[in-house]
Structure 1
Amino acid sequence: MTFAEITNLLSLHFGPDTVVDNTQNLQPYLTVPTGQLVDICQFLRDDERLFFDLLACITAIDNGAQANTMEVIYNLTSIPYEHNLMLKVVVPRTTSGAKLPVVPSVAHVWRTADWHEREAFDLVGIQFEGHPDLRRILLPTDWIGHPLRTDYQEEEQYHGIKTK
């Protein structure tokens, strides 16, 4: 199934304003509303015409204070049909010390999301609502901050060890 066919199918099922087609990029992607992410992902997995059975990767990006947004990008694959799809949600960025941006978890849709979401939480500071065990996965549990945020300030020391 082509990107255009997948886009049309999602637009028919969820409404024409639900998915934003970004075909001008080198790798086309769909931007979807955060509130409909789970429903769209379940449809992509369960519809027999699509069968996106693999969540290959989740990437989180901090676009910085000027853009004031963060993105979570989902790379999906249908192994039997050999087609791929990239989904993106855009959320408002928060300042240091404020509540983290929230995106619904898709760990109940694809088990691999469990670790991917924990990594995005750990490094970028995206809160995945409904995640079964959202805690740090790469950094120590008492680490302060999220190192891939553009406003991250590294501490001078960690448990008496110089970090700079």
Structure 2
Amino acid sequence: MEETTLNQNLVEKLQSAFGDRIVAISEPYGLLTFSTSKDAIIEVLKFIKDELQFGFLTDITAVHYPGKKEGIAVVYHLHNMVQRIRIRVKVFLSENHPAIPTATVLWQAANWMERETYDFFGVKFEGHPDLRRILNMDDLGVYPMLKQYPLEDPNRVDKKDEFFGR
């Protein structure tokens, strides 16, 4: 079956099950992508896993969109090994309180992925069995992937104009 037809079938099944809780549907590079709310995410993921046979959780990560009302997107990549197709699910969260239910209730593999996302973006996965830093120091105090700092250090002396004859 052609990829576009598969994606259309998936969209129809998702919309019949969840209606207007499935929004922003698109297919960048053939990858079916949509958004849902944090209140519906576990129900949607369970449906995708059990009913649509996307049994493999490839990745959970986040993206920071500074300046937007809902400035953090938690992104789930899922894979249907039988039909050999992938799907991406996004949930947008407030930057001031980025919290979402844990997917460890569906996939044990979500444990490490959620810890990594927490460690780098500060997203709190509610109900996670062991949510703590996994790669950074415990006392770091910041979330390094949030775009909250200038791109260059203003104190670098090798960037001063006088060193370049300006």
Q: TM-score, normalised by structure 2?
A: 0.81
Q: 1:72 — aligned with what?
A: 74
Q: 1:20 — aligned with what?
A: 23
Find the structure with the greater CA-based Rg: 2
Tell me how large the CA RMSD over aligned residues is: 1.6
Q: 2:46 — aligned with what?
A: 42
For residues 137-156 of structure 1, what are the structure 2 equivalents within 5 Å? 137-151=134-148
Q: Is the 8 A contact 2:72 2:95 kept in 1?
A: yes
Q: 2:156 — aligned with what?
A: none
Q: Is the 8 A contact 2:116 2:133 kept in 1?
A: yes
Structure 2: how far apart are the matches of 1:85 and 1:143? 34
Please list every run of 5 or more consecutive structure 2 residues that lacks an aligned counterpart in the other structure. Answer: 151-166
Q: Is the 8 A contact 2:32 2:86 kept in 1?
A: no
Aligned residues: 144
Which protein has the bigger helix share? 2
Q: 1:10 — aligned with what?
A: 14
Q: 2:111 — aligned with what?
A: 114
Aligned residue for 1:128, secondary structure, equals strand
Aligned residue for 1:148, secondary structure, equals coil
Aligned residue for 2:39, secondary structure, equals helix
Aligned residue for 1:103, secondary structure, equals strand
Structure 2: how far apart are the matches of 1:92 and 1:2? 33
Work out which of the residue numbers 104, 111, 123 in structure 1 matches 2:120. 123
Which residue identity does 1:115 align to in structure 2? W
Q: TM-score, normalised by structure 1?
A: 0.82
Deviation of 1:152 after TM superposition, in Å, equals: 5.1
Which residue identity does 2:53 align to in structure 1? F
Work out which of the residue numbers 83, 87, 101 in structure 1 matches 2:98. 101
Deviation of 1:25 after TM superposition, in Å, equals: 3.1
Deviations 1:20-51 (A, max 9, x none): 1432633440101110000011111111xx21
Aligned residue for 1:40, secondary structure, equals helix
Deviation of 1:120 after TM superposition, in Å, equals: 0.5
Structure 2: how far apart are the matches of 1:152 and 1:122? 17
Structure 2: how far apart are the matches of 1:24 and 1:134? 33
Please list every run of 5 or more consecutive structure 1 residues that lacks an aligned counterpart in the other structure. Answer: 95-99, 154-164
Q: 1:91 — aligned with what?
A: 93
Q: Is the 8 A contact 1:28 1:86 kept in 2?
A: yes
Work out which of the residue numbers 78, 81, 84 in structure 1 matches 2:83. 81
